[in-house]
Amino acid sequence: MSYQSIRQIRDDLAAKKISSLEITRSYLERIKALEPKLNAFISLTEEQALQQAQAADQLIADGNAGLLTGVPIAHKDIFCTKGVRTSCASHMLDSFVSPYDATLVQNMAQAGVVMLGKTNMDEFAMGSSNETSWYGPVKNPWDTDRVPGGSSGGSAAAVAARMVPGATATDTGGSIRQPASLCGVTGLKPTYGRVSRYGMIAFASSLDQAGPIAPSAEDCALLLEAMAGFDPLDSTSVDRPVPAYSQQLEQPLEGKKLGLPKEYFAGGVSAELEPVIEAALKEFEQAGAELVEISLPNADLAIPTYYVVAPAECSTNLSRFDGVRYGHRCDNPRDLEDMYSRSRGEGFGDEVKRRILVGTFVLSSGFYDAYYRQAQKIRRLIKQDFVSAFEQVDFVVSPSALSTAFRFGEKTADPVEMYREDLYTIPANLAGLPALSLPCGQINNLPVGLQLVGNYFCESQLLSAAHQYQQRTDWHLKLPQVNGESL
């Protein structure tokens, strides 16, 4: 039983062509068959999923179905799930079972979804390749010798391999869009504050944002409609109505202006990606959109700015993991200082330690003004660049990633080279803007993604533009091929 979209599943459930129990069992079987090859999951919640599926079937039979009743999904293992391990792919939280649900998890449950399990990720969402997970790297289903991207690589790989029809994810500097690009699926980072962060284990609080990964923009619209909304438990949550995103997908592209930043397109896009991106832009033109050259003059400062701000917030947020209240505690500590030191040393991986050290340094006395304060000033300039751009255009367009999926170990020896992977995605996080990655082509059987950045709270327009493109193309329908056959 193979489904290409959440919409199709929802329609078949409503028409009683299939039961939630049947489709849930089908996906669980597929997960078990592919998991040894891909390592996309940390936890599988089979018993709970079957119970939820039975309850969903009863709701459908009684005529009480919600937006996504009976549709199976997976949650990234950064969201707290009551009674289920929430590890953040870290040894530090390997034994942590959350006593409550994140607001996003609650919202999705109220919409009727069935949770199949928790997906693998970079440790504490720190990474661009999913190689930092305590549970081992996720494999890209298009080529298992290559990375799926990060940090939401487990969610992206699971959706690409159709182990799940959709998944939740988080994006701090590109962690939804970059893996979506490398795995050939659609991923949306909403406006900062659009989706509650309560119960989402924090990496960098002013940058983190939850969003959906699914095969298509239409499916992302359904997922976002379920997960978004004001939350009084999150002080950064924005109190404004949630549009019916899934019913606003037919906005025409005719007359829309797509901004091409000269900092990216004037010799900035790699020769490998250039023809694929050009073909995608031509498709938008043929649909009536206009291409306009714009400037984001501070774009080249986005990565150094991010790698001051994000580690600083990471250093603060991760200070709570000390081996006292929950999480990993070392054996037989000599004293309190020894317990703190060894518990954190044993519990955190190298990349997490690296970012904690950088963050602590830039916040320290004598360096705060020189680094952190300056980074926040530049962040303001980056935001203003986008504000100016949106006075001229409707969307800002770029590749989603620097390249197609790279091989395992190719960039781990050089952290700076790894950090450059988020060149196109980081600016939207610094500015708090919504951004979407959609499949737009392939190079040597590896997916390429196109990124659209929209103005604040313009998710509806972003999703509609992506949907219109996907009505004209079939890149989002292509499945990973191994020896000429679909997984």
DSSP string, 402-429: SSSPPBTTSSTT-HHHHHGGGTTTHHHH
pLDDT at 13: 96
What pTM does this model have? 0.96
- Residue 365 domain flag: no
Half-sphere exposure in the Cβ direction for 47 (13 Å, CA): 2
For the question of residue 151 being annotated catalytic, the response is: yes
For the question of residue 377 being annotated catalytic, the response is: no
For the question of residue 76 being annotated catalytic, the response is: yes
pLDDT digit string (tens) for 282-341? Answer: 999 999 999 999 999 999 999 999 999 999 999 999 999 999 988 999 999 999 999 999
- Residue 371 domain flag: no
Catalytic residue among 90, 128, 175, 315: 175
- Residue 272 domain flag: no
- Residue 101 domain flag: yes
Catalytic residue among 19, 43, 76, 118: 76
- Residue 326 domain flag: no
pLDDT digit string (tens) for 132-142? Answer: 999 999 999 99
- Residue 332 domain flag: no
Catalytic residue among 128, 151, 152, 196: 151
Total residue length of the chain: 487
State how many domains the chain has: 1
Output the domain CATH number for residue 82: 3.90.1300.10
- Residue 266 domain flag: no
DSSP string, 338-354: HHHHHHHHHHS-HHHHH
Residues in the chain, pLDDT under 70: 1-2, 267, 482-486
Query: Cβ contacts of residue 342 below 8 Å, gap of 6+?
Result: 323, 330, 333
Three-class secondary structure of residue 438 per DSSP: strand
pLDDT at 269: 79
Q: Which domain range does residue 482 map to? A: 6-258+391-486
pLDDT at 375: 97
Query: Cβ contacts of residue 19 below 8 Å, gap of 6+?
Result: 13, 53, 57, 70
Distance from C-alpha of 130 to C-alpha of 347, rounded to nearest angstrom:
18
- Residue 53 domain flag: yes
